[in-house]
Amino acid sequence: MTTINDIAKMANVSRTTVSRVFNNGYVSEDVRKRIMKIVEETGYTPSLSAKSLRTKKSGVIGVILPKISTETASRVVSGINEVVAKENFQILLTDTELQKEKEIEYIRLLKSRHVDGIILLATNINADLIKAITAADLPFISIGQDLPGVTSILYDDYHAASDVTNLLITHQHTKIAFIGVGEEDPSVGRQRKMGYLDTLAKFNLPIKEEWIEEGDFSIESGYECTKKIIKNSGTDLPSAIFAVTDRMAIGAMEYLREQGFSIPKDMAVAGIGASTMSKYLTPSLTTVDYFNKEAGEKAARHLLAQMIQKKDKEKFTQTYRLIKRDSV
């Protein structure tokens, strides 16, 4: 394996001169070109860890994901990477598997790994999380939750959920069931539910306890929640189901099909997330696109700006697009 000493020997210069080139120090242009030509020919890569000891920078940005396997996470990471790679940064991914305690654990872990900043796809807000962010003392961006004292990229969950509910109402649905998630998640759990409830109240439509269930983001939970809704409703069935994620909406559709319901003739279904699968289902799923990749790009740009200079903490709300398809 080629070392920095090998590069120095081949270029007939000192190791210090090679280091200056790698760290943008002063050397003559001829020497710089000679060294870089050898680097290119040998495929040598300067040691990131060694460089970090000198510059106090690792060239690495930590990203904390709630579930690495989801399409939302994939899109956000793609946006982050597209921006930071142009600035020669790498990303280090961690996956909390929706366990809020791991958010705090990974903030501390990434701090110990000397990352230059952290982007968190947050699922909750609590005092311990804020304390861990403050203690890390790193450039920090939150995506999806409005964390106090932290620059946050937010989704307009309330209005998106209200728009979905309103769309169902315009299609003559007056009995609308709801599959949400735990309210410890302020954005998906609370804001989307409030958008649904407030819109029903605005039109004086019934809100029945039997029509509201709580899932865990998975397809399986959407299936089980729909099963409970149908069972508990007796003869007073809803005519539409609004699930706060596409994955749960897909589970709902699967259960309805198994029970012989025609979608949307017997029961309409809508979700949020604009998953790739939503377009190719039969019928295709009405959903909301939050432009996740753009959210990742925006988060990365603001994190890089924080790393250059201290900036006031800001809040940015993403636009969204309601996609009307055949399930409604």
Q: Which range is least confidently modeled, 3-7, 166-170, 255-259?
A: 3-7
The whole-number pLDDT of residue 46 equals 64
Q: What is the pLDDT of the chain when averaged over all its residues?
A: 91
DSSP assignment letter at 87? T
Q: Which of 153, 146, 92, 190 is nearest to 291 (CA)?
A: 153
The whole-number pLDDT of residue 49 equals 45
The whole-number pLDDT of residue 158 equals 98
CB 291 within 8 A of CB 321: yes
pTM over 0.95: no
What mean pLDDT is predicted for residues 223-245? 97
Q: Which backbone phi and psi does 111 adopt, to 5 degrees?
A: -60, -45
CATH superfamily of 55-155+292-318: Response regulator (3.40.50.2300)
Q: Which range is least confidently modeled, 38-52, 126-140, 191-205?
A: 38-52
Q: Does the structure show a pLDDT above 80 at 65?
A: yes
- HSE, CB side, 13 Å, CA atoms: give it for residue 226: 30
**Residue count of the chain:** 328
Residues 202, 175, 192: CA angle, nearest 5 degrees: 60
The whole-number pLDDT of residue 93 equals 95
What mean pLDDT is predicted for residues 81-107? 91
Q: Does the structure show a pLDDT above 90 at 196?
A: yes
The answer to whether domain 55-155+292-318 and domain 157-289 are alike in fold is: yes
Q: Given 2.60.120.260, 3.40.50.2300, 3.40.50.20, 3.40.50.300, which CATH number is that of 157-289?
A: 3.40.50.2300
What mean pLDDT is predicted for residues 120-134? 91
The whole-number pLDDT of residue 253 equals 98
- How far, rounded to the nearest angstrom, does the alpha carbon of residue 249 sit from its chain's CA centroid? 19
Q: Domain boundaries in the chain?
A: 4-46, 55-155+292-318, 157-289
16-61 residue pLDDT tens: 888 888 766 788 888 888 988 888 788 776 654 455 445 557 789 9
CB 115 within 8 A of CB 60: yes
The tokens of 146 are what?
């409005």
CB 80 within 8 A of CB 101: no
SS3 of the chain: CCCHHHHHHHHCCCHHHHHHHHCCCCCCHHHHHHHHHHHHHHCCCCCHHHHHHHHCCCCEEEEEECCCCCHHHHHHHHHHHHHHHCCCCEEEEEECCCCHHHHHHHHHHHHHCCCCEEEEECCCCCHHHHHHHHHHCCCEEEECCCCCCCEEEEECHHHHHHHHHHHHHHCCCCCEEEEECCCCCHHHHHHHHHHHHHHHHHCCCCCCHHHEEECCCCHHHHHHHHHHHHHHHCCCCCCEEEECCHHHHHHHHHHHHHCCCCCCCCCEEECCCCCHHHHHCCCCCEEEECCHHHHHHHHHHHHHHHHHCCCCCCEEEECCEEECCCCC
Q: Return the residue matching tokens 């949307």.
A: 264
Please count the other Cβ atoms lying within 10 Å of the Cβ belonging to residue 220. Answer: 14
258-303 residue pLDDT tens: 999 999 999 999 999 999 999 999 999 999 999 999 999 999 999 9
What mean pLDDT is predicted for residues 102-126? 92
